[in-house]
Amino acid sequence: MEKITVIPPSTTIDRRLGLNLLYQMMLIRRFEEKSAELYTKSKIRGFLHLYIGEEAVAVGVIQALTAEDNVLATYREHGHALARGMDAGVIMAEMYGKMEGCCRGRGGSMHLFDVGKRFFGGNAIVAGHLPMSVGMALASKKLKKSNITCCFFGEGAAAEGEFHESMNLAALWNVPLLMVCENNLYAMGTAIRYSHAVQELEKKGAAYGIESAAVNGMDVLEVEKAARAAVEKVRSTGKPFFLVCNTYRFRAHSMFDAELYREKSEVEEWKKQDPIPALRTKLMELQLITNNDIGSLEQKIENEVQQAVDFAEKGTLEPLEQLTRFVYSGPG
Partner 1 sequence: MNAGNDHIKLTYREALKQAIREALSKDDRVFLMGEDVGRYGGSFAVTKGLLQEFGPERIMDVPLSESGFVGAGIGAALSGLRPVVEVMTVNFSLLAMDQIVNNAATLLYMSGGQLNVPVVIRMSTGLGRQLAAQHSHSWEPMYAHIPGLIVLSAGTHGDARGMLLTALQSPDPVIIFEYTAMMNLEGTLPGHPETVNITKAGIIKEGKDISVITYGAGVYKSLDAANELSGSGIDAEVIDLRVLRPMDMETVFNSVKKTHRALLVEDAWGSVNIGAEVSARIMENVFYDLDAPVQRLCGAEVPMPYPKHMEDASVPQKEDIVAKLKKMLQHG
Ligand X SMILES: Cc1ncc(C[n+]2csc(CCOP(=O)(O)OP(=O)(O)O)c2C)c(N)n1
**Does residue 154 interact with Mg ion by CB under 5 A?**
yes
Q: Which helix (H) or strand (E) holds 302?
A: helix 291-314
CB 258, min distance to its own copies, A? 25
Helices 88-95 and 15-40 pack at an angle, to 10 degrees, of 20
Least separation in angstroms between residue 247's CB and Mg ion is 9
Site for Mg ion in 155-184 (CB under 5 A): 155-156, 184
Shortest Å distance, C-beta 189 to ligand X: 9
Q: Which does 184 bind (CB under 5 to 8 A by kind): partner 1, Mg ion, its own copies, none?
A: Mg ion
Cβ 116 to partner 1, closest distance in Å?
Answer: 9
Query: Measured from the CB atom, is 20 or 199 closer to ligand X?
Result: 199
Q: With contact defined as beta carbons under 8 Å apart, do 123 and 75 qualify?
A: yes
Q: Residue 236 and residue 178: Cα distance in Å, rounded? A: 12
Q: Which of 79, 107, 154, 176 binds ligand X (CB under 6 A)?
A: 154
Q: Which 3-state string (H, E, C) describes 108-156?
A: CCCCCEEHHHCEEEEECCCCCCHHHHHHHHHHHHHCCCCCCEEEEEECC
Alpha carbon distance 207, 178 (integer Å) = 16
Three-state secondary structure call for residue 34: helix
126 binds ligand X (CB under 6 A): yes
Question: Is 259:52 a contact under the CB 8 Å cutoff?
Answer: no
Among 115, 143, 197, 260, binds its own copies (CB under 8 A): 197
Pick the closer one to its own copies by CB: 126 or 223. 126
Segment interacting with ligand X (CB under 6 A) among 123-131, 142-150, 228-236, 293-301: 123-131
Among 117, 203, 262, 325, the residue binding its own copies under the rule CB under 8 A is 203
